[in-house]
Amino acid sequence: MTLSDHDSLSFAPLRLVVATANPDKAREIVAVLTDSGLSVELVARPGDIPEVVEDGETLLDNARLKARALCSATGIAAIADDTGLEVDALDGAPGVFSARYAGEHATYEDNCNHLLAELLSRTDASRTARFATAVVVAFPDGSELTARGEVEGRITASPRGLGGFGYDSIFMPEGESRTFAEMTPEEKHAISHRGRALRSVAPLVWRSMQTLGNSTLHKEQN
């Protein structure tokens, strides 16, 4: 959903700190929210704030931990997401452990290779999977907004494409013949899990601005 210029300009921009410490995720969040038409001023995560321990049991738990931590540390509203790749043949793994599936300090390539090795004997029909993203917008008054986005697909036999990050090179969305890594950023954002979650939360933020009033949402930020 794209907010109209009239709607998005009804209020002064809401300041939102982007809570993620992952620069690739941060770029996607900024790109999608900017395109949504939501009137926000996106603030980069301060470099002196330590990474948040993501020990939640669900994607929503981890997104909430990050959003709340950055909101508390900065005193302004914060937006955070957590994303997981859920492979049916692996009972939903790697899930919340997607970023460290091959080990605590694993690289994107390490994680992809580890997953491909686990699926080595699987046929195309048994390589179904989905990307899921949970998004939380946390406000200084303790309130929050949440949204979830998913995209179905399957895991390819080998990496394809040079774009994207994470598992993008081995994930082919349903109905597509290309992996996320073979798409342009704009093509990926239009159908991706993160794009869907962010486009879902954008009108919720806008409605909150309408209902509560601009001054209420900004009062803790001044």
What is the pairing mode between strands 171-173 and 144-155?
antiparallel
Which one-letter amino acid corresponds to residue 136? V
H-type helices in the chain, by residue range? Answer: 5-8, 23-36, 59-74, 108-118, 185-191, 193-212, 214-218
Q: Which residue has the tokens 């949440």?
A: 146
Tokens read off for 135: 């998004």
Tokens read off for 98: 């997607």
H-type helices in 44-192, by residue range? Answer: 59-74, 108-118, 185-191
Q: Is the peptide bond before 13 cis (omega within 30 degrees of 0)?
A: no
* Contact (Cβ atoms closer than 8 angstroms) between residue 11 and residue 214: yes
Tokens read off for 168: 């993008």
Catalytic: 124? no
Q: Which residue has the tokens 């043949």?
A: 89
What is the pairing mode between strands 78-87 and 94-95?
antiparallel
Catalytic residue among 24, 48, 55, 82: 82
Catalytic residue numbers read 82
